[in-house]
């Protein structure tokens, strides 16, 4: 099949690629579904010559409108889904961008290895999408986001030029500006705007010998957040510390109160956990999850919250409503005050409190609001902006995980200085001078 025959302008195909989970719908002019890097190059060369915009896409689970477009070609990388090599001794895997993280980890399990980043959506997320968003998840508390786990990339630039970038592996390097020293980092988190990832060499970690999950039911939010800070401040080193507020806990487990969930891969005696919890007023009904099946169940209830809120948001679309999800983060010690301030802003606007849940150990909760119509959407966005201004005033970020995409572009200048924005634009102009890649994302 020639590359051009993989380009479709059929309405049903274009519509099939017109939505991610942001609630936005944007129908592209055409959809290209390359099966190889060579086909990506052909598509980009042709698009560049004709000045046609191209937006790369993986599984389109973006929450920010990053993987949809109504300008030019939607370039779906899903068909490039081969695991090319697993080097057990070097702990590296070479994969095409359309491989799903869940499939990759199932293949790696047989070799006692793990690709550490774990977005909640990992069974549906492509490697290309995870790299382009610098995705992270619960266990990023211990292992970090996707960035440190990307060793090398093959990238096709907007003009169709293929480049290969790999980490230097140097401990020390004073050659030139820091941001230019590791070009891999230009593309991790670039949301499709700087190049199309056609191959990734990923760094792997050994599968932990054992993982124990612990769920600490708490009477209220204050107790739960106090426990989160106590755990982070202790000598314990869990790989995740997740929080569920009463709304989220009702969705996840149809229970009242709040909950803190941790996973420990360090074989710390359970007594140490129990003692810490008890000294913070959490002593009864602590649940322990051991073994893969039990841990899977625990992760399922975690996944239920965003999945349910996405469904509730989608149901409001006919009236102009949708889910509004924040992914701000603050230094973990100021999380309780920040959540309290965020709740006050919601109350002051006369809105229903959102579900608040997620990566509390990183000072990174999600607030999930459901806007029932366009008017409520506007009021929620006003509260979100006020919350983000507060978050920034105490050293936080407007986006810790899901990226900027199209929906959060308006928040970026609140955080990035004019000089930072000029440098970002300069890099974009250098790599994509005609602004053809993923227009509308980030800048
Ligand atoms: C229920 C749910 C839970 C989620 N939980 C998390 C979470 O815990 N953590 C988290 O980080 N995210 C989470 N997300 C958001 C989303 O899953 C991640 O951002 C994910 O990394 C997107 O991967 P994707 O394959 O769907 O990429 P897409 O949505 O298709 O694309 C995302 C971005 O990557 C770019 N892109 C895709 N492929 C390439 C490529 N080959 N080359 C260059 N650019 C490319 C696109 O242009 C776009 O900018 C969640 C989403 C849902 C629906």
- Examine the pLDDT at 442 and tell me if it is beyond 90: yes
- Examine the pLDDT at 5 and tell me if it is beyond 70: no
- Examine the pLDDT at 4 and tell me if it is beyond 60: no
User: Cα of 392 to ligand 1 centre, how many Å?
Assistant: 24
User: Cα of 307 to ligand 1 centre, how many Å?
Assistant: 15
- Tell me the average pLDDT across 351-369: 97
pTM of the predicted protein model: 0.95
Atom 5 in ligand 1: which residue has the minimum CA distance?
120
**pLDDT tens readout for residues 65-76:** 999 999 999 999
CA distances in angstroms from 173 to 38, 164, 170, 182, 279, listed in the order given: 34, 20, 7, 10, 46
- Examine the pLDDT at 121 and tell me if it is beyond 90: no
Question: Is 20 near ligand 1, meaning CB less than 6 Å away?
Answer: yes
Q: What is the pLDDT of residue 199?
A: 98
Atom 7 in ligand 1: which residue has the minimum CA distance?
119
Question: Is 74 near ligand 1, meaning CB less than 6 Å away?
Answer: no
Confidence class for position 2, pLDDT limits 50, 70, 90 = very low
Other beta carbons within 10 angstroms of residue 312's beta carbon come to 17
User: Cα of 356 to ligand 1 centre, how many Å?
Assistant: 21
Average pLDDT of every residue of the chain: 96
**pLDDT tens readout for residues 75-102:** 999 999 999 999 999 999 999 999 999 9
- Tell me the average pLDDT across 249-265: 94
Cα–Cα distance, 134 to 264 (Å, whole number):
24
Share of the chain above pLDDT 90, in %: 93
Question: Is 66 near ligand 1, meaning CB less than 6 Å away?
Answer: yes
Atom 6 in ligand 1: which residue has the minimum CA distance?
119
Other beta carbons within 10 angstroms of residue 110's beta carbon come to 9
Q: What is the dihedral of CA 388, 393, 394, 395, to 10 degrees?
A: 80
Count CA atoms closer than 13 A to 163's CA, side-chain side. Answer: 14
- From 67, 309, 443, the mutation candidate for ligand 1 (largest count of ligand atoms within 8 A of CB) is 67
Q: Which residue has the higher pLDDT, 298 or 352?
A: 352
- Tell me the average pLDDT across 57-68: 97
Share of the chain above pLDDT 70, in %: 99
């Amino acid at each position: 099949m020639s590359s051009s025959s993989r380009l479709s302008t059929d309405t049903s195909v274009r519509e099939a690629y017109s939505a991610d989970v942001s609630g936005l719908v944007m129908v592209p002019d055409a959809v290209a579904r390359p099966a190889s890097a060579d086909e990506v190059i052909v598509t980009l060369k042709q698009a560049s010559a004709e000045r046609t915009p191209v937006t790369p896409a993986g599984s389109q689970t973006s929450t920010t409108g990053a993987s949809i477009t109504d300008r030019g070609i939607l370039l779906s990388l899903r068909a490039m889904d081969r695991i090319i090599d697993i080097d057990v001794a070097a702990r590296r895997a070479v994969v095409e961008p359309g491989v799903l993280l869940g499939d990759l980890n199932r293949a790696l399990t047989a070799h006692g290895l793990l690709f550490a980043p774990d977005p909640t959506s990992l069974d549906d997320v492509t490697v290309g999408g995870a790299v382009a968003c610098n995705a992270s998840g619960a266990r990023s508390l211990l292992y970090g986001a996707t960035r440190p786990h990307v060793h090398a990339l093959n990238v096709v630039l907007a003009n169709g030029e293929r480049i290969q970038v790999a980490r230097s592996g140097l401990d020390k390097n004073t050659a030139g500006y820091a941001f230019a020293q590791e070009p891999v980092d230009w593309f991790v988190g670039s949301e499709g705007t700087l190049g199309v990832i056609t191959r990734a060499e990923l760094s792997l970690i050994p599968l932990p010998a054992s993982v124990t999950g612990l769920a600490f039911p708490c009477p209220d939010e204050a107790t739960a957040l106090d426990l989160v800070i106590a755990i982070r401040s202790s000598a314990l080193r869990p790989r995740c510390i997740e929080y569920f507020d009463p709304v989220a806990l009702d969705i996840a487990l149809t229970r009242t109160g709040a909950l803190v969930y941790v996973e420990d891969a360090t074989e710390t005696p359970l007594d140490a956990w129990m003692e810490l919890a008890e000294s913070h007023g959490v002593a009864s009904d602590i649940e322990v999850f051991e073994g893969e099946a039990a841990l899977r169940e625990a992760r399922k209830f975690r996944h239920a919250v965003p999945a349910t809120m996405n469904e509730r948001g989608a149901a409001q679309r006919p009236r102009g409503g949708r889910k509004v999800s924040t992914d701000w983060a603050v230094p973990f010690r100021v999380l309780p005050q920040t959540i309290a301030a965020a709740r006050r802003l919601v109350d002051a606007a006369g809105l229903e409190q959102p579900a608040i849940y997620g990566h509390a150990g990183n000072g990174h909760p999600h607030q999930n609001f459901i806007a029932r119509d366009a008017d409520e959407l506007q009021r929620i966005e006003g509260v979100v902006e006020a919350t983000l201004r507060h978050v920034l005033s105490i050293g936080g970020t407007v986006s810790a995980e899901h990226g900027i995409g199209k929906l959060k572009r308006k928040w970026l200048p609140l955080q990035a200085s004019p000089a930072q924005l000029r440098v970002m634009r300069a890099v974009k102009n250098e790599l994509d001078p005609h602004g053809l890649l993923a227009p509308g994302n980030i800048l």
